[in-house]
Amino acid sequence: MLWWMLGDLIRFHFTQGHDLVGTDGLPAGIQAGIVIADEVYDADERVIAPLEQAAKRVVIPPKSNRKSPRTYDRCYIK
């Protein structure tokens, strides 16, 4: 996961990704306003909801198997 503040990368955090190990509790300590992550982090309860509740902009592409895909700001992902 990547954290951005005012357009600058301020922190990155490697996790195992495939099973979301290491993602619980991350939003509380994030100072950045935007969190950019790969689609493996498209998990409503464990990742997206806590970040949104902490007033973070979530830039995570939806998984291809989502029944109702979420929108995200594509300008942050190349």
Condensed to tens digits (0 to 9), the pLDDT of residues 46-72 reads: 888 888 888 888 888 898 898 888 888
Q: Are 28 and 54 in contact (CB under 8 A)?
A: yes
| Percent above pLDDT 90 for the chain | 3
Angle at 34 between CA 26 and CA 10, to 5 degrees: 75
Decide if pLDDT at 12 tops 80: no
Helix and strand numbers, DSSP H then E, in the chain: 1, 4
The predicted structure's pLDDT at residue 33: 81
- Higher-confidence position of 26 and 74: 74
Single-letter amino acid, residue 65: N
What mean pLDDT is predicted for residues 5-18? 63
State the DSSP code for 28.
Answer: G
**Unique residue bearing structure tokens 């509790």:** 25
